[in-house]
């Protein structure tokens, strides 16, 4: 289907950035291990202690800035260049997809690199790593907040609408590096499945999506996604992550796919379950 240029939606989560050295949210070594996420990722927490919340996000910004896109990010940028109808919806806020060369990125949970005025709601891009004070202030004097989506907040309307549209029209959905626990993002594959799409999950662990996935590619996305791209003739060398990826993402390479027992392809070396 991918070789035929079928409309494709990719949904990514924190696991895709794990091999760039960024911690995931849940599981062992998770970002909030030992600390309840609800302590930090809620508007209530920000109201209660904006300085604490801001110190956490300032640390996240420094981590993300120091990280490099990994071969999984680069492979997805290559797929975008190769597929005419391709949408990448990410729950990640780190900006690594864009730094790998992806252009059609829908940021469902906002961005670490956007700040929002708590008075008038206006957003601006800001990449600074040091703030003169916590919380940082807007020019109007009001507090700025991180431009991310916290629990209990609505997702950006346009981003969600684009992702839902892509889910309704997709024939292939690749769900990579997400625990599929957080809604409404976790509901996108079901929308696509109801429309008859083929759902491929890329994850070393079982998730709530696993039983209903059409195919499971069990392993790290930094290995599997480049093989998937290579199977389509799109190379994504690990070194691409440190360069502008659009040029290297579009290089042709020999395919390395084998046929799976389910009648579809699988990637040699990885388990394929349907």
- Told to check if 183 binds ligand BJW by CB under 6 A, we report yes
Q: Considering the complex, what minimum distance in angstroms separates the CB of residue 18 from ligand BJW?
A: 4
Q: How many Å apart are CA 220 and CA 203, to the nearest integer?
A: 6
- Told to check if 181 binds ligand BJW by CB under 6 A, we report yes
Candidate list 8, 10, 15, 189; residue touching ligand BJW; CB under 6 A:
15
Stretch that binds ligand BJW, among 99-107, 119-127, 166-174, 220-228 (CB under 6 A): 220-228
Stretch that binds ligand BJW, among 117-125, 150-158, 163-171, 238-246 (CB under 6 A): 150-158
Q: Which residues are the active-site residues?
A: 109
Q: Considering the complex, what minimum distance in angstroms separates the CB of residue 37 from ligand BJW?
A: 6
DSSP string, the chain: -TTTT--EEEEE-GGGGGGGT---SSSTT-TTTTS-HHHHSSHHHHHH-HHHHHHHHHHHHHHHHH----HHHHHHHHHHHH-SSEEEEE---S-HHHHHT--SEEETTEEEEEEEETTT--EEE---S--SSSS-B-TTSSBEEEEEPPTTSPPPHHHHHHHHHHHHH-SEEEEES--S-STTGGGHHHHHHHTT-EEEEE-SS--TTGGG-SEEE-S-HHHHHHHHHHHTTB---GGGGGS-HHHHHT-B----EEE-TTSSEEETTS-EE-
- Told to check if 44 binds ligand BJW by CB under 6 A, we report no
Q: How many Å apart are CA 95 and CA 100, to the nearest integer?
A: 9
Q: How many Å apart are CA 55 and CA 83, to the nearest integer?
A: 40
Candidate list 36, 44, 49, 153; residue touching ligand BJW; CB under 6 A:
153
Candidate list 95, 177, 241, 249; residue touching ligand BJW; CB under 6 A:
177
- Told to check if 26 binds ligand BJW by CB under 6 A, we report yes
In the complex with ligand BJW, the residue whose CB is nearer, 7 or 20, is 20
- Told to check if 111 binds ligand BJW by CB under 6 A, we report no
- Told to check if 96 binds ligand BJW by CB under 6 A, we report no
In the complex with ligand BJW, the residue whose CB is nearer, 4 or 154, is 154
- Told to check if 109 binds ligand BJW by CB under 6 A, we report yes
Q: How many Å apart are CA 13 and CA 251, to the nearest integer?
A: 26
Q: Considering the complex, what minimum distance in angstroms separates the CB of residue 218 from ligand BJW?
A: 10
Q: Considering the complex, what minimum distance in angstroms separates the CB of residue 226 from ligand BJW?
A: 12
- Told to check if 171 binds ligand BJW by CB under 6 A, we report no
Q: Considering the complex, what minimum distance in angstroms separates the CB of residue 4 from ligand BJW?
A: 26
Judged by the rule CB under 6 A, the positions of this chain that interact with ligand BJW are: 13-15, 18-19, 24-27, 30, 41, 91, 93, 109, 148-155, 176-179, 181-184, 202-205, 207, 220-222
């Amino acid at each position: 289907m991918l070789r035929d240029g079928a409309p494709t939606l990719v949904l990514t989560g924190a696991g895709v950035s794990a091999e760039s050295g960024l911690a995931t949210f849940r599981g062992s070594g998770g970002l909030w291990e030992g600390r309840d996420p609800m302590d930090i990722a809620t508007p209530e927490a920000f109201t209660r202690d904006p300085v604490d919340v801001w110190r956490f996000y300032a640390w996240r910004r420094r981590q993300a800035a120091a990280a490099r896109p990994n071969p999984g990010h680069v492979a997805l940028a290559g797929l975008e260049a190769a597929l005419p109808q391709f949408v990448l919806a990410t729950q990640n806020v780190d900006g690594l997809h864009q730094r790998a060369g992806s252009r059609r990125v829908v940021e469902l949970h906002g961005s670490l690199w956007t700040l929002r005025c708590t008075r008038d709601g206006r957003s601006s891009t800001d990449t600074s790593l040091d703030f003169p004070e916590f919380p940082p202030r807007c020019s109007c004097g009001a507090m700025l907040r991180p431009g991310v989506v916290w629990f209990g907040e609505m997702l950006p309307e346009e981003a969600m609408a684009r992702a839902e549209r892509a889910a309704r029209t997709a024939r292939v959905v690749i769900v990579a590096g997400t625990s599929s626990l957080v809604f409404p993002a976790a509901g996108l594959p079901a929308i696509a499945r109801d429309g008859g799409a083929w759902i491929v999950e890329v994850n070393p662990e079982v998730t709530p999506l696993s039983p209903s996935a059409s195919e499971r590619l069990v392993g790290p996305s930094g290995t599997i996604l480049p093989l998937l791209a290579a199977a389509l003739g799109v190379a994504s060398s690990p070194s691409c992550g440190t360069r502008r990826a659009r040029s290297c993402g579009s290089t042709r390479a020999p395919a390395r796919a084998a046929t799976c027992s389910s009648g579809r392809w699988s990637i040699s070396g990885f388990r394929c379950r349907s």
